[in-house]
Structure 1
Amino acid sequence: MIGVSGCALIGRQRSSALCDPLGRLLFCGETRPGSMHDITQARTAGLVDLLLNAPLDVQILADAGYQGLDTDTGGAVITPRPRPRKRQTSLPPSVIAAHEAARKRHSSQRIRVEHAIGHLKNWRILGRYHGRRESFDTTIRAIAGLLSDHQHTGRSENTTRRRRAPPATPHVR
C-alpha cells in the first residue's frame, strides 16, 4: 500500500509525494502552480498511465483531492468516500456512523503520508525558500532524495548532528 498526497510547499508551488506504508518518502513529483488541482497534477505527471501498467497488488491511498482517479486507474487508487451532501439529512444514523468510520480508517492509514510531508517541510530551505522559482523544482527533489536516503539507511536525526567539542582549557578572565 502506497500513500499519495499533494502538498503545498512554498507560496504558490505544490508537489505530489508518494510514501510507503512505513511513511518513508519514495517519490516527490515536479512542482506545479498552487492553483492546479491534485487530480489534474496527477494526470499531467503521468501517474494514471503508470498505475494502469502497475502490478495488480499495488494500491495507493490518496486524499480527497484525488477522488475520481480510482476510476481512471482501474481501482488502484483508494480515496475516501465523499461526504454526504447537506441536503441528505434524512440518512439513517447507522449509515452516517458507518460512513464516518470508513473515513476515519482511511485517514488513520494515510497519516503516515502526512508525516512524511511534514518531515520534508522540516528542512529549513523548504520552510522559507528565498531562491528563484525556476530552481525550486531542483531544490525540492534534492531534499527529497536526501530525506529518502536518510530514512532508508536507518539514520536518525540525532546521529547526523555534530556535537560541540568541550573547550580544551577553561577560559580565564
Structure 2
Amino acid sequence: MKRLFALGACLAIPLLAVAPCGHQAVAQSVLDGSDKKAATPFTRSTLKTLETRFAGGHPRFRKLALHSTAEKKQVLCGEFSLSTVKAPADDSFVLFGATEGGDAPVVYEPKDIPTELDFREVNQWINHGADLEDLEEMGCVPEGSYRQYSDKLNLVLQHRKTNTTR
C-alpha cells in the first residue's frame, strides 16, 4: 500500500507543474530563461520550436497556459516578445498556441486594422485573421475574438467599396 501511495505521489508531481496554481512559476521560469524542467515535454518542444523559428530575437515567454482538448491532446497557449530589453513592454508581446501532434505553433500579432486598405493588402489581412481564428479554436483567445476582427475588417472593406463607386 505504501508503495502504491509513493508511486501515485511521484506521478502526480509532474502534473502539478501544469495545474492552474503552477502556471505563474512555470511562466516565470520560462520568461527569465531559468529552469525549464518544470514544463511538460510538449511545452518544452513547443517553446524550442518558437525559439528556433525566431532565433534572431531570443523570444521571452509569459502567460503560459496548458489545457486539454476533447481528444485528450494538450494545447499550449501563451505570449512571447522579441524585444531585447530585460522587461519587454506589454505591446511587444504576440500570442501563440500549439496543439500536441499538430502543425507548427500558430503565432498571431495583434495589429489594428487601418481605416482604409489598399486592394493588394486585403488577402494579407484575411490571412492574418485566420491565425486568430485558429487560436480561438484552440481556446487560446476568448470566444468571439475572431468575429470581432472579421466584423471590423468587413466594415473597412465595405467603406472602401462605397468610396470606389463614387
**What TM-score do you get using the length of structure 1 for normalisation?**
0.28
**What TM-score do you get using the length of structure 2 for normalisation?**
0.29
Larger radius of gyration: 1
Larger relative contact order (Cα-Cα within 8 Å, sequence gap ≥ 6)? 1
